[in-house]
């Protein structure tokens, strides 16, 4: 009798553990999905040197007012924005992104790279010349 009772007790333990796993696993996945969606598209500041490295670039020495953000969900999306002397902007773009091609006057330049872990797959470069001798440079990079 004691042996049968012990088997029943073990059986109920395994049944309870199995049912708990079946109920808690979907609840955990739903919680993780809800958290993921709540964080999607939320940009946060990131170090500009790290952001530039992701975009196959280096920050120019003359850059000022630099502001860099990063967003994650399924892709990594980095935006780098800074001002630099207008006379240096074209040379920096040509030296940093030699493979960049013009997309349109509104979109600026565009460069594609082979997929590589930890690096951008697509990079968009837009330079807007402001009044005087200043250029506003915006680099947007993302992976898939």
Q: Which pLDDT score is estimated for 131?
A: 81
* pLDDT tens-place string over residues 80-105: 999 999 899 889 988 998 878 876 55
Query: Over 60: is that where the pLDDT of 22 sits?
Result: yes
Cα 47 from Cα 52, distance rounded (Å): 9
* pLDDT tens-place string over residues 40-85: 667 899 999 999 999 999 999 999 999 999 998 778 899 999 999 9
Q: Which pLDDT score is estimated for 104?
A: 58
- Terminus-to-terminus CA distance in the chain, angstroms? 62
Cα 113 from Cα 87, distance rounded (Å): 27
DSSP 130: P
pTM, entire model = 0.69
**Where is average pLDDT lowest: 23-27, 37-41, 134-138?**
37-41
């Amino acid at each position: 009798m004691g042996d049968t009772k012990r088997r029943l007790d073990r059986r109920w333990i395994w049944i309870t553990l199995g049912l708990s796993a079946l109920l808690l696993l979907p609840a955990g996945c739903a919680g993780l999905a809800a958290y993921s969606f709540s964080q999607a598209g939320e940009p946060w500041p990131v170090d500009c040197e790290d952001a530039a490295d992701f975009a196959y670039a280096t920050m120019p020495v003359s850059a000022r007012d630099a502001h860099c953000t990063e967003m994650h969900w399924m892709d990594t999306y980095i935006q780098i924005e800074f001002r630099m002397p207008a006379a240096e902007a074209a040379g920096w773009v040509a030296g940093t992104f030699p493979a960049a091609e013009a997309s349109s006057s509104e979109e600026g330049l565009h460069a594609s790279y082979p997929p590589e872990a930890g690096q951008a797959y697509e990079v968009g470069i837009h330079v807007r010349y402001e009044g005087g001798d200043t250029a506003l440079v915006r680099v947007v990079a993302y992976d898939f």
